[in-house]
Amino acid sequence: MMKRFLWFALAGLLFSFLSISPGAYAQSEEDRLMLADTLLIAGDTIIMLGDSVIIKTAEKPQYWKKRGNFSLSLQQVTLNNWAAGGASNFALNSSLQLGAEYAKDKKVWDTNLTVNIGFNRQADRRFPTRKTNDNFLFISKYGRELSSRWLLSTQLDTRTQLLPGYRFFRPPGAELDARDRISDLFSPAFIQSSTGLNYRRQFDNGSRISIIGSPFTGRFTVVLDDSLSRAGAFGVTPGERVNPEAGVSISSTTDIIIMENVRWRADLNLFSNFERLGNTVVNLNSVITLRVNKYITTRIETVLIYDEAVRIPQDVGPPIQAVQLQNLINFGIGIDF
């Protein structure tokens, strides 16, 4: 009797085990996964399920954003026995733009570097190779956020050139051109340090603007070349290498996507000395980029400068105060990185 009862019990247990559906078994596995032990260690998620350990590493935050662009345009004209006249020439213009932004814990550090170099070579003149473009612009700004769009910022703005600059002219009665060296590396250089309120906004399409107004700004005109310093070039006292000034300033950086493949970037700096409020030094660098495809671009570059302390030499008469204007239109290679 006891053996018969054990056999019936064993058969019932086997029937119950076989009657369990695969779906029910899968559900129990899911329940086990949901009931798994979870542990967080230094940002990593560790899931312990039975004898298995699953580690999910959290993505590291990106504090740095980097950007860059290089452009190069070339032009060559070769004439040989050309009845209509003209001159063979070769022209080169290049530009390098680098930028980096660091943002963490309400601290923002934004740095931009722009270097432009251009030459023109014409074989039938005394000085065949002449500089057409030479700009060095470095702007670095550090700030702490007061709100989502307002910061308290300090900015360093440095503008100079890399190569000697010459004024070419032909003396009366001479058959060949002559030249005078009128500028060089850090002759001049304009270094400006300012602290003030910074309005900063970024748009959904990638455009951004930044405006900083500073009631306390130090501006230094540097002329390291001895001959230019002795001549009192660029507003320095003759024989001195640095002319310090204190005043107020407004500066802005604009990077606007006007439409698809059309972008405008501009850096504007306005400075007025406390001793001569209203007499404003103006520096504007503007670049409009029209992208044809990934590698071909057209660039319209404009540099505008006005500084009453800088006298512009004239072919006839003494140097005068004047607006300095440089404009270039380049078609060539443009690479973003």
Tens of pLDDT, residues 178-219? 999 999 999 999 999 999 999 999 999 989 999 999 999 999
Helix/strand/coil for 125: coil
- Which residues 6+ apart lie within 8 Å of 202 measured at CB? 208
Q: Cα separations (Å) of 242 from 4, 83, 104, 189, 192?
A: 113, 54, 37, 9, 13
**Unique residue bearing structure tokens 């300095």:** 324
Angle ∠(284,235,316) on CA atoms, nearest 5:
85
Using 50, 70 and 90 to split pLDDT, how confident is the model at 41?
A: low
Query: Could you tell me the domains of the chain?
Result: 14-56 (no CATH), 64-336 (2.40.230)
What is residue 21's DSSP assignment? -
What is residue 317's DSSP assignment? S
Of 89, 70, 67, 69, the closest CA to residue 78 belongs to 89
Strand partners, 312: 320
Which of 11-20, 53-62, 238-247, 296-305 shows the lowest mean pLDDT across its residues? Answer: 11-20
Residue 30: pLDDT over 60? no
Residue 22: pLDDT over 50? no
Using 50, 70 and 90 to split pLDDT, how confident is the model at 59?
A: confident
Cβ(133)–Cβ(326) under 8 Å?
yes
Using 50, 70 and 90 to split pLDDT, how confident is the model at 108?
A: very high
130-158 confidence digits (pLDDT tens): 999 999 999 999 999 999 999 999 999 99
Distance, CA of 229 to CA of 289 (rounded, Å)? 38
State the CB neighbour count (10 A cutoff) for residue 21. 8
What is residue 67's DSSP assignment? E
Element (H, E) at 28: helix 22-34
Mean pLDDT of 256-284: 95
Q: Greatest CA span in the chain, whole angstroms?
A: 141
Cβ(242)–Cβ(234) under 8 Å?
no
- Please state whether the predicted TM-score (pTM) of the whole model is above 0.85: no
Cβ(195)–Cβ(216) under 8 Å?
yes
Distance, CA of 111 to CA of 104 (rounded, Å)? 15
154-176 confidence digits (pLDDT tens): 999 999 999 999 999 988 889 89
Residue 27 backbone dihedrals phi, psi, to 5 degrees: -60, -40
Q: Cα separations (Å) of 33 from 24, 43, 48, 283?
A: 14, 21, 9, 65
What is residue 314's DSSP assignment? -
Question: Over the Cα atoms of the chain, what is R_g?
Answer: 34
Distance, CA of 120 to CA of 98 (rounded, Å)? 25
What is residue 54's predicted lDDT score, i.e. its pLDDT?
61
Q: Cα separations (Å) of 37 from 32, 52, 74?
A: 10, 11, 66
Distance, CA of 161 to CA of 62 (rounded, Å)? 34
What is residue 124's predicted lDDT score, i.e. its pLDDT?
84
Distance, CA of 254 to CA of 281 (rounded, Å)? 19
What is residue 8's predicted lDDT score, i.e. its pLDDT?
45
